[in-house]
Every structure is written in C-alpha cells, then in structure tokens.
Chain A
Amino acid sequence: MLKTAIIGCGKIADQHVPAIHRIPGCDIVAVCDRELLMAKQLAERFGISHCFSGLDQMLETASPDVVHITTPPQSHFSLAKRCLESGSHVYLEKPFTITAAEAETLIRLAESRHLKITAGHNLQFTLEMLEMRRLVQQGFLGGKPVHLESHFSYSLDDVTYVGPLLGNRNHWVRQLPGQLFHNIISHGIAKLAEFLDDDLTEVLASAHQSPQLRALGGQEVLDELRVLIRDSAGTTAFFCFSTQLRPGLNELRICGPANSLVVDHASGSLVRHKNRSCKSYLTYFVPPLVDAREHLRNACVNVSNFLGRRLYQDAGLKELIEHFYQSVRSGGPPPIPYREILLTARIMDEIFTRIYSAEGPSAPVAPSGSFEARPLTSNARP
C-alpha cells in the first residue's frame, strides 16, 4: 500500500483526494496545512486519520511515500525540497516552481536521491490527450509537428477568485513574477513543450489588459496573452491565453506534415484531420461530412466512456496521479518527462521577462538559460 499525504488543504486538495481515492493500492495517511482548521475540515470530510500543521512533524510521524503539494506556488520549492530530502516522492501542483532554475534544482535533487517528482499538468492526461498521444506515437502526423497551437480560456466570472486578487496587491497571485498568467498558463504551455525541442530560437510575447478586467478595477494585472515560439528544428507554436473568448476555447492543435489533430478539452474531443483531396465541388460537400462523422464518433466515445465510468471531470488528474504512482512503484520513468517540465518553466520565464520587463514587450530576444547541458535520466515519455 502506497502511503500518500497532502500539504495544503485548500480547493486543489479537494480535487486531489477524490482522485486518489479512485486509485487502488494507495492510502492518504495524513493531511497538513499551516492552518490546522483547514487540515481538519479536509480530514473530516474524507475520513483521513491524521492532521498536521507542521510539515516536519508530518513527515516524521506519517512517513509518506508520496507527498502531494497543493499550496500556493511561492512555497513549492522549499516544501518540495524538504519532502525530497526526507525521502518522499513529490507530486507538485502547477506552476511547478517560480523559476526554471528552481525547477532544475528540484529535479536534480530528486534524481540524486532516486526519487520521483512530477508537475500537476493534469490536462496532458485527459482521455482525449491520451488518445492524441497514442495516434502521434503511431505516426498519424506523418513526422515532427510543423506547427502547434494551444488556446487556453479563463473566465473572470468567478468573482470569489478575481475579486480578492484584484483588490489586494499582496494577494499571492499578484506576488508571482507572471501574476495571473503565472498561476494558470503552465497547462497550455506544457502541451506545447511536449512537441518542441529544448533549443528555442525565438520567443515573442505580447500581453495587455482586457476591457472587462479594467472595468473590474484590474490595476496593473494583465489578462490577455499571445506567444509565438520557434525551436531550432523549425517547429513553430502559438499560445493564446484569453479571458474574453466566447465560447471559451481550451484546445491543442497539432499540424503535422501529413495529417493534423485537434484536441478540444471543453467537449472532450479529439478530431482527426486527414489530408484528403476531393475533386471539384466535392471539396465543399465531403470534408464537412467527414468532420461531422468525426464529431459523431467523439460523441459515441464519450457516451461509451460515461457508461463505462471513465468520463470523470477530473479524469486527467486521476490518470496523471495513477501514472505517477506506477512510476514510483516500478521505478520506471515519470509520467511527464523532466525535459518537458523544465522546458515549460523556461518558456514561462521567457514570457514573463518579455511582458513585464522594463524594456517593453515583444522584443525578439533569443531565450537565455542552458539547463540541458547535463543530461537528465527521465527525458523520454513512458
């Protein structure tokens, strides 16, 4: 039985506990929060036996095999370091760390201690993303992706989150180098990092404030971001983060030299676009019907998954955790290659430097950092 523990008993922990409970062969032995009442309320609701307000006490008393860290990002590095030093594997919620340098330090530490660590990029493990990965590995694209597009929408309608954030300069989100973007965009960036080389030749970023956020009293917070990335192999990637798109767009488009794929998280769909040519006017009739068949297929797959009890709203989280636990048990590679975690962190560093630097946004500067100088053992996706 794998013993797990959770540090940080807020909203994200509420998502982790049910996902962990659906995984056989593991047990949540303790929860910890600096505010003991928070730990107690979580433990009471889910029947967890031990609550702590101090990390060291929890690590010593409960000796968890795996620790899930679901605290605000500023504490990720120190907490994860302490857990690794005490011999626990670490599931670290997104954003992995504040900087790429911190991310590399943690990964080196985990490797040196023969422990596993992963980032909470759970959207990479939804059912549609798993299917996309299977097709890519089978060569559906016909080669390395030529172009990628990742869209990530975020609604400002939840005033319980946005209100305190905008009203308080000391809110932890406002203290992040990338502010609102920093807390959210790693989901969308990580999906690009999976298909990009480490050697990036160009990162262009532009950000602004939406009228809606301005009306809410947004002050200096930016909420619209566009990024263009190019790697040394010539693959380009576009990333769009928006609070304004309606309907919300949360998808990944992968364009290959032969065929393309579109993963739509909002509808749990994977749409295959095959390179077919049609004669004359048939080009107006056949492709839409083929697309309609794709959407019908997705609807059938989702119904089948629902009936088979696989269509959970947190399916990606459960899959990622389960894959991580498997890698802990087997000693195999972690579910997200360390290369991707580091590249995601590095791209985010670059974006925040561009948009918040004194020199002004969008300067096309070659990205800094050379963390790939030393090879990491877990660079391949399992």
Chain B
Amino acid sequence: MADAKPLTSISKFIAVPDDCLLVTGSNGFIGSKVVQTLLEYGFVNLRCFVRPASKLARLEGVLKRSRPGRHVELIAGDLLSRDDCRKAVAGVSIIYHLAAGIEKSFAGAFMNSALATRNLIEAFLERGQPKRFVNISSFAVYSNRKMKRGSLLDENSPLEDAPQARHDAYGFGKSKQEEIVREYGESQNLPYVILRPGAVFGCGNPALSGRVGINTFGFFIHLGGSNRLPLTFVDNCAEAIVLAGITPGVDSEVFNVVDNELPTSKEFLQAYRQKVNPFFALPVPYPLAYAFSLLWEKYSAWSQGQLPPVFNRRRCAAEWKGNRYTNQKLKEKLGWEPRINMSDAMSAFLSQFN
C-alpha cells in the first residue's frame, strides 16, 4: 500500500497541519478512511462529527492506529440542529461533509442531506474560518438518459432534472444538496468543491453495487452485463476527498471519483461469486431491463401507485445503460493517483469474505 504524501513537503496546500478540520459522517465507511488519510497527511487537529448513538468502532480503530500527538475531538450531534452545527464548526477552516441522508423516504433524505447541509454551511460562514467546504455528492445526480450507451460520462454530463421521477430518495437528497452548496457559493462566496464518487467499495462494505444487479425478486438478476463499473476503492476515494479540501485553485470545481482499470460488471460478479459463493445469477440484457422498466413505470402510473415506480426508465438508464468514465480532471487538478491499483483493491475487497 502506498504511503500518503507528508504534509511538510507540500507547502502548496491551503491548510497547515494544525488547522482545525471537521469531518461529518466521520464514523462511516468512507468518513473513517478520510480521518485516517488526514492523519497520515499530518493534520493534527481534527474534529469528527458523529450522530448520537452511532457505532464508532471504525473510527475508534483508526484513532487507535494513529500516531500520538494528534488532537482528535469527537462531537456527537444532529446536523438538523443549528446549535449543534455552530458548536461543530467553531474555529474550523475546512469541512469534509460526508454525512448524508440514507433514508428511504424522500422527506428524510432531503432533511438529512439538503437541510443538514444548509445548516452546516450557514454555521460555517457564521462561526468558522472558511477555507473550503468539501461536499461529497454522488454519481446519482447525473442523468445519462439522453446519452448513448458507452459514451463518456464526465463532470460536464447532464444532471438529473427530475430526481423524484427516478424514485431515488438518496439521489433526490444529493441533487438538492448540491443545489444548496452552489447557491451559497454564488450568493455568500462559500469556497466549495463538490466530489461525486462512483461506487465506493472496500473492506467493511460487503454489499454488491446495484449497478451489478439486484435480488429484489428473491434471486440475483445480473443487469450490468459488460458495462464498466464506476468503482473507486475506499482508500483511493478518501485520498481524493482529502486533496479536494486542501488543494488550492479548485474552488467551485466538481470532480468525479473513479479508479483506473475499471472492471466490467461481469468480471466483478465472476470474482465475487468465485470468492463468496457461486449463487445463481440470471443475466438480463439492457434492452429487456429497459422494456421491463417501461412497463412497470406505465403500470405504476395507470394504477396510481399501487406498485410504486421503483423500476423506471431513468433509473434503468442511470444504473445499467453503461458508460465510460474518466478521472482525468481529478489527476490534473488535484494531482491524485490511486494509491491502490484495481487488482489489489479487488483482492482487499474480496479478502473480507475469507
């Protein structure tokens, strides 16, 4: 595994080692890696925001393994509380905002993504010393509905114009969250960067990406076919996030985060089945999945939602149409390179099933 760049040798960053940095969602799958990476970079004054009663095992593991001499403060609170936000951001110069609404309801996802972000930004502008607000978004905000299969999806690709129609509460929350960040960037000069990671995988997250397939009907349906998966290994993703917070000259920029040498869905599933268990997977080609989604969508509308439109053309395209992906901008503007190559990343991911 490659080492992080020592902070002392990189004077071009906008943060110094004892700047106070806040990480929300710091006990999560990605958040704990971001904390680990920040410590490896030499930042010694971190504030980790966690939800009350959340499991802290990942974060505590990171802190136990870190070198002495750092000051890491854990703050339990609710980003929907403006008071909690004010306490969290006092004296903070960079925020890595990873906390997100993962609820299934649209209202819940909106509250915990968009509303929480609004509260955090306002508190940051009021009580912080803003150098950068790093907003972690998602590929879910893109729409490839009008793009051809296999075309390049990059930072300039169209955004979903009706996220609610995709019946994806998480994507809806993320879209609205981005709108709020951009709005504060324009109206309040909030220095921000938006990162949109693809499918983040690694140890500690055994789930198969929905882009590979689904098991909604009691057996696995492989829908990804020979599409490239927009994967990013959690360590690589965390480093991209860290760099987005400290690299100068990238305010208001958007970065997609994907690794090099992306495997196809078929390759990924094959490796997964070999390692975990050789479960039955029914391959369904994209045109058939699209036709099924169309029928489901029509039935849902006709029946006034007796079956909710969980399968619809927008979602089908976003997840299984298949695109090419690039990390060119990430490399050029942030100087990022994947710490771990795809082969090692796959081995590390699959090792959790030993």
A interface with B by C-beta (< 8 Å)? 9-11, 13-14, 18, 21-22, 35, 37-38, 41-42, 44-45, 160, 163-164, 166-168, 216-217, 306, 309, 311-312
Could you tell me which residues of chain B, from 81 to 116, have a CB within 8 Å of some CB in chain A?
A: 102-103, 105-108, 110-112, 114-115
A18 to B115, CA, bound (A): 23
The answer to whether the Cβ of B176 comes within 8 Å of any Cβ in the partner chain is yes
Chain B contacts of A9 at CB under 8 A? Answer: 107
Question: Which one, B54, B105, B172, B305, contacts A167 given CB within 8 A?
Answer: B54
Chain B contacts of A216 at CB under 8 A? Answer: 53
Contact B105–A11 (Cβ < 8 Å): yes
Given A38-B115, A41-B176, A168-B78, A163 contacting B52 (CB threshold 8 A): yes
Contact A312–B52 (Cβ < 8 Å): no
Say how far B295's CB is from chain A's closest CB, in angstroms. Answer: 16
A-B contact pairs, 6 of them (CB 8 A): A13-B107, A37-B110, A37-B115, A42-B107, A163-B52, A167-B76
Chain B contacts of A217 at CB under 8 A? Answer: 53
Chain A contacts of B51 at CB under 8 A? Answer: 163-164, 167
Question: Which one, A35, A160, A312, contacts B306 given CB within 8 A?
Answer: A312
Please, which residue of chain B has its CB at the minimum distance from the CB of A45?
B164
A167 to B54, CA, bound (A): 8
Chain A contacts of B105 at CB under 8 A? Answer: 11, 14
Contact A41–B106 (Cβ < 8 Å): yes
Contact A21–B304 (Cβ < 8 Å): yes
Contact B53–A166 (Cβ < 8 Å): yes
Given A37-B118, A163-B52, A167-B53, A11 contacting B305 (CB threshold 8 A): no
Chain B contacts of A306 at CB under 8 A? Answer: 306
The answer to whether the Cβ of B11 comes within 8 Å of any Cβ in the partner chain is no
Say how far B58's CB is from chain A's closest CB, in angstroms. Answer: 15
Pick the most buried of B52, B78, B102: most chain A CB atoms within 10 A of its CB.
B52
Chain B contacts of A42 at CB under 8 A? Answer: 107
Chain A contacts of B176 at CB under 8 A? Answer: 41
The answer to whether the Cβ of B9 comes within 8 Å of any Cβ in the partner chain is no
Say how far B65's CB is from chain A's closest CB, in angstroms. Answer: 25
Contact B53–A14 (Cβ < 8 Å): no
Question: Which one, B78, B110, B305, contacts A18 given CB within 8 A?
Answer: B305
Secondary structure call for the A interface: helix
Contact B53–A163 (Cβ < 8 Å): yes
A35 to B114, CA, bound (A): 12
Contact B110–A309 (Cβ < 8 Å): no
A311 to B304, CA, bound (A): 11
Q: 14 new A-B pairs (CB below 8 Å) besides A18-B305, A21-B304?
A: A35-B115, A38-B107, A38-B110, A38-B115, A41-B114, A160-B102, A160-B103, A163-B54, A164-B51, A164-B78, A166-B52, A167-B52, A167-B54, A309-B303
Pick the most buried of A10, A22, A41, A45: most chain B CB atoms within 10 A of its CB.
A41
Say how far A268's CB is from chain B's closest CB, in angstroms. Answer: 13
Contact A45–B111 (Cβ < 8 Å): no
Say how far B326's CB is from chain A's closest CB, in angstroms. Answer: 32
Contact B111–A10 (Cβ < 8 Å): yes
Say how far A231's CB is from chain B's closest CB, in angstroms. Answer: 38
A164 to B76, CA, bound (A): 10
Chain B contacts of A18 at CB under 8 A? Answer: 304-305
Contact B306–A311 (Cβ < 8 Å): yes
Contact B106–A14 (Cβ < 8 Å): yes
| Top-9 shortest CB links A-B | A167-B52, A167-B53, A45-B164, A11-B105, A166-B53, A160-B103, A11-B107, A41-B110, A309-B303
A37 to B107, CA, bound (A): 11
Say how far A43's CB is from chain B's closest CB, in angstroms. Answer: 12
Chain A contacts of B114 at CB under 8 A? Answer: 37, 41
A168 to B176, CA, bound (A): 26
Chain B contacts of A166 at CB under 8 A? Answer: 52-53
Chain A contacts of B304 at CB under 8 A? Answer: 18, 21-22, 309
Contact A41–B107 (Cβ < 8 Å): yes
A45 to B176, CA, bound (A): 12
Say how far B236's CB is from chain A's closest CB, in angstroms. Answer: 28
Could you tell me which residues of chain B, from 50 to 67, have a CB within 8 Å of some CB in chain A?
A: 51-54
Please, which residue of chain B has its CB at the minimum distance from the CB of A35?
B115
A35 to B80, CA, bound (A): 11
A21 to B306, CA, bound (A): 13
Say how far B57's CB is from chain A's closest CB, in angstroms. Answer: 14
Chain B contacts of A160 at CB under 8 A? Answer: 102-103, 108, 112
Chain B contacts of A311 at CB under 8 A? Answer: 306
Please, which residue of chain B has its CB at the minimum distance from the CB of A12?
B107
Chain A contacts of B102 at CB under 8 A? Answer: 160
Chain B contacts of A21 at CB under 8 A? Answer: 304
A357 to B111, CA, bound (A): 35
A163 to B112, CA, bound (A): 13
Chain B contacts of A13 at CB under 8 A? Answer: 107
Chain A contacts of B76 at CB under 8 A? Answer: 167
A225 to B330, CA, bound (A): 55
Contact A309–B306 (Cβ < 8 Å): yes
Chain B contacts of A22 at CB under 8 A? Answer: 304-305
Over the window 101-138 of chain B, the binary record of Cβ atoms lying under 8 Å from chain A Cβ atoms (1 yes, 0 no) is 01101111011101100100000000000000000000
Chain A contacts of B112 at CB under 8 A? Answer: 160
Contact B106–A45 (Cβ < 8 Å): yes
Contact B53–A10 (Cβ < 8 Å): no
Question: Which one, A10, A35, A168, contacts B52 given CB within 8 A?
Answer: A168
Please, which residue of chain B has its CB at the minimum distance from the CB of A44?
B164
A13 to B105, CA, bound (A): 11
Say how far B283's CB is from chain A's closest CB, in angstroms. Answer: 29
Contact B108–A11 (Cβ < 8 Å): yes
Chain A contacts of B110 at CB under 8 A? Answer: 37-38, 41
Contact A10–B305 (Cβ < 8 Å): no
Please, which residue of chain B has its CB at the minimum distance from the CB of A217?
B53
Chain B contacts of A10 at CB under 8 A? Answer: 107-108, 111
Please, which residue of chain B has its CB at the minimum distance from the CB of A160?
B103
Say how far B105's CB is from chain A's closest CB, in angstroms. Answer: 5
